[in-house]
């Protein structure tokens, strides 16, 4: 993505599932998203609440059983990597309520508070916000105007095309 002088890099929020997939599979699009963040193609933003959730998921025994390449040592190194490349945003005002899945609220609120351009996720509830025609969906879209919600592969295509 080429940046013109004075144009800042986009801020990006990753959902917990993106961190999990990046830590568990170095061959997938989520890992490629992390590599792009490390190359400073965008500004990855994170909050304390999200880091706590990511740590909890990456070190959970059942998750580590499911993803055989993931263990406590890999999780620790991955979390250090995230801490080195991500910018922390605090405080995060609780502006958005998301009744469909309240666990998604920290990601939506971080995207809003940081002025993010993208929220990268595989979460259908979040990805479907763009198509939600219910009154709540319309209001949520209005609040999140300018924040694109994309799956990792779509995000990579968009970043590589320079959109």
* Residues 40-85: tens digit of each pLDDT: 999 999 999 999 999 999 999 999 999 988 999 999 999 999 999 9
Q: Examine the pLDDT at 156 and tell me if it is beyond 80.
A: yes
* 16 located within any domain: yes
Find how far residue 108's CA is from the centre of its chain. Answer: 10
* 72 located within any domain: yes
Phi, psi of 46, deg, nearest 5:
-145, 160
Name the pLDDT band for 1 (thresholds 50, 70, 90): very low
Q: What pLDDT sits at residue 50? A: 96
Q: Where are the alpha helices (DSSP H) in 4-134?
A: 16-24, 29-38, 48-58, 61-66, 72-85, 105-114, 124-127
* 5 located within any domain: no
Residue 151 belongs to domain with CATH number: 3.40.50.1010
* 1 located within any domain: no
* 51 located within any domain: yes
What the block records as the tokens of 101 is 């899945």
Residue 56 to residue 85: CA distance in whole angstroms? 19
Q: Within 10 A of 30 (CB to CB), how many other CB atoms are there?
A: 26
Phi-psi region of 49 (alpha: psi -120 to 50; beta: other; left: phi over 0): alpha
Q: What pLDDT sits at residue 144? A: 82
Give the range of the structural domain holding residue 57, as residue numbers without chain letter.
11-161
pTM of the model: 0.89
Domain count, the chain: 1
């Amino acid at each position: 993505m080429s940046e013109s002088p004075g144009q800042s890099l986009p801020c990006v929020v990753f959902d917990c599932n993106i961190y999990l997939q990046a830590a568990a599979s170095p061959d997938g699009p989520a890992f490629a998203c992390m590599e792009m963040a490390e190359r400073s193609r965008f500004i990855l933003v994170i909050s304390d609440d999200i880091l706590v959730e990511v740590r909890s998921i990456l070190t959970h025994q059942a998750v580590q059983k499911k993803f055989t390449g993931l263990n406590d040592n890999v999780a620790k190194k991955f979390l250090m990597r995230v801490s080195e490349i991500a910018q922390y945003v605090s405080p995060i005002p609780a502006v958005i309520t998301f009744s469909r899945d309240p666990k998604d609220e920290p990601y939506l609120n971080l995207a809003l508070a940081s002025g993010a351009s993208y929220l990268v996720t595989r979460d259908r509830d979040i990805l479907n916000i763009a198509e939600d025609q219910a009154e709540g969906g319309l209001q949520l879209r209005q609040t999140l105007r300018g924040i694109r919600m994309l799956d990792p592969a779509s995000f990579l295509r968009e970043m590589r095309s320079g959109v």
